[in-house]
Amino acid sequence: MHQSFLSILFLLVSILGISQESYNHKNLVVSEYDLKGTRYEKDTTANAFYIYEKGFSRIQNGGNYNLLTDYSAKIKILNKEGFEKSTVTIFLYKSKNGKELFRNLIAYTYNLEDGKIIKTKLEEDQIYQEKYDEHNTLVKFTFPNIKPGSVITYTYQVESPFIFNFKGWEFQDEIPKLYSEYVTDLPGNYVYNIRLVGNLKLDVNESSLIRDCIEVSRGGSANCSHNQYIMRDIPPFKEEKYMTAKKNYFSRVEYELKELKRFDGTNKKYTETWKNVDKELKNEKAIGVQLKKINATKNILPDTIQKKPIGLDKAKEIYRYFTDQYTWNQEYRIFRDVSIKNTISSNVGNVAELNILLHNLYKQQGFSVKPVILSTRKNGYATKIHPVLTDFNYLIVQLTIDKKTYLLDATEKTLAFGQLPFRCLNKYGRLLDFKNGSFWIGIAPKKRSAHNYREKLILTDELVFKGESKYLYGGYHAYFKRKAFQKTSEESFFNNILNEDENLTILEQSIQNENDVEKPFIEEIGFTKIAESIDNIIYLKPFTKTFFTKNPFNLNERTYPVDFGYKDYYSHIVFLDIPENYDFLDIPKNRSYKLPGNAGKLNIIFQHHGKKLTINHTITFLSSYYPTEYYDSLKEFFNLIVDIENNTIITIKKNS
């Protein structure tokens, strides 16, 4: 009996294992199980997934020696929400030197009908091409006869004359993949920088040599490096809050041409050293030449500021005067269309114009100052391995006073001295020192941002809470508040200060320091709130205003880090007073939680003294950046925060 039970159990486990691995992820052949399968075991929320995907890029002998890429894919459509994956869009690039060509599309939809596999072909008249922009054409097609359970397959080839931009490969997509493979034959005379981006690991990464794969006239030839990259069980990439650019984490292989070794024996380098780039930038029209125009700033400052001694006070006055006088035109353009002469005459400029002009103004006044180029959060991280100037899209200023450095940006009038716009908080930048050589610097904010909420609630005999609230915002929270205040009317702004509560009536409200960017932004509210009572027991949610109404982290798995941009602190203190003829019936217990490595702390402490109760709720993030291994802990951390702020209840009862 025991033996039979074990046999049955083993059989069930075997069947389950087979069912999870039975999709044919080896090729484009559609199996019966491919059509019968109803879910993706590793992500049961998936609406569709790639069963199989493969790409092959190479340069073949003959013709124009263009880059050929064959692509093939097999996708399972699980439900109606997955129908969007049955529409495929391919971008083809063109320039004055040539264009990419699309050919050999073969596409089918497979369905299981009455136990038979039925396939429907995509016809040529269902394939559309249209102009997308100056440099891109779209090829677009939608598979016919799509149903829940369908499997689609397609193959095509792209021919590209742009061999310098060897095709990369994206392993991750917005839906999961069972299997993804990329094969390349790289000619030995083309030397590429190759890098794997993202946190996912390759299951296969193999290389071998193919001799004389490329032949040219007069006996010239080159060997090829044959490379195979395989990744299995790839989770989807789902965007979530507190992340920088998607391209920082999207798992893929990238190629960048480093050097071309010509058959005549000459070489051309495409990747340079920072030493060479520094020399180029020093004489470059948009940056180096503009940085030399120091004398152009002589008449910008009033005498009252110019006559002040060099020091922090003067530096702050220069910065505030400059940001008051000049306006950003919302353009970046750090390597083109830069003219500080035009900016001086119009009082308007792009990022490079404003910040180079600010740099020159400080230098003209005798300060130690350097330009810094960086890549914004939405633009992605700049490559550190070697110079890639196209990675950079922003320029700021580093000012040094008494061995202390300040990073400055003149584009926004709501920035405090030494504060960068949030878009710039992308880990690091490259300081340009044309005398001693450029180098990387960190650009993380030195000061911690903070919310400080203070509320006083007094219960009256009329069962009404009289409330006074003071909300202080420091650092980036003040910056965000001022930006929001500038974009709306005062009435609309006040309407959004407190959480919606039909029992709450605002009696008075005011704002302090809305224009003084060096001080906290302050909101003050006076209000009344009707006490909610059931069976003579008053139930009070003490936090009139919450920091978080819901958990921002909801993914089963996040394959990229959490990047807040700055260290943060939240403090909410509530002082609650009740009349002598009332007692506190139930007060919750104190609670605390720490993130691993003491990287964050959460506390709520209740202090009860007679008719008074003090609630002290604090949240501390001791880092601005949390690697992927912190994700589950952060989810739990925020679940506790949301629970505390939205579900904490104090009960009060009248004396008998």
- Domain positions in the chain are 24-267, 274-442, 449-654
pLDDT given for residue 135 in this prediction: 85
Q: Are strands 650-654 and 127-131 parallel, antiparallel or unpaired?
A: unpaired
pLDDT given for residue 432 in this prediction: 96
Residue 393: how many other CB atoms lie within 10 Å: 19
Q: What is the pTM of this model?
A: 0.86
The Cα angle at residue 521 between residues 519 and 526, in degrees rounded to 5:
130
Q: Which range is most confident: 215-229, 432-446, 493-507?
A: 432-446
Q: What is the CATH number of domain 449-654?
A: 2.60.120.1130
Banded pLDDT at 3 (limits 50, 70, 90): low
The Cα angle at residue 111 between residues 106 and 115, in degrees rounded to 5:
135
CB burial class (10 A; 0-12, 13-18, 19+) of residue 410? buried
Predicted confidence (pLDDT) at residue 9 exceeds the cutoff of 50: no
Banded pLDDT at 264 (limits 50, 70, 90): low
C-alpha distances in angstroms, 391 versus 271, 342, 411, 576?
13, 26, 21, 54
Would the CA dihedral through 29, 32, 35, 38 be positive or negative? negative
Q: What is the CATH number of domain 274-442?
A: 3.10.620
Predicted confidence (pLDDT) at residue 519 exceeds the cutoff of 70: yes
The residue whose two tokens read 């493969």 is 54
What is the average per-residue pLDDT within 327-339?
90
What is the average per-residue pLDDT within 319-338?
92
Q: Which range is most confident: 184-188, 462-466, 553-557, 611-615?
A: 611-615
Banded pLDDT at 500 (limits 50, 70, 90): low
Banded pLDDT at 21 (limits 50, 70, 90): low
**Rounded CA separation 340/329 (Å):** 13
Predicted confidence (pLDDT) at residue 13 exceeds the cutoff of 80: no
Predicted confidence (pLDDT) at residue 566 exceeds the cutoff of 90: yes
Tell me: the pLDDT tens digits for 129-170?
998 888 899 999 999 999 999 999 999 999 998 877 777 899
C-alpha distances in angstroms, 578 versus 463, 530, 613?
10, 14, 9
Spatial contact of 431 and 454, defined as CB atoms under 8 Å apart: no
Banded pLDDT at 260 (limits 50, 70, 90): confident
What mean pLDDT, rounded, does the chain reach? Answer: 91
Spatial contact of 517 and 482, defined as CB atoms under 8 Å apart: yes
Q: What is the CATH number of domain 24-267?
A: 2.60.40.3140
Predicted confidence (pLDDT) at residue 18 exceeds the cutoff of 50: no
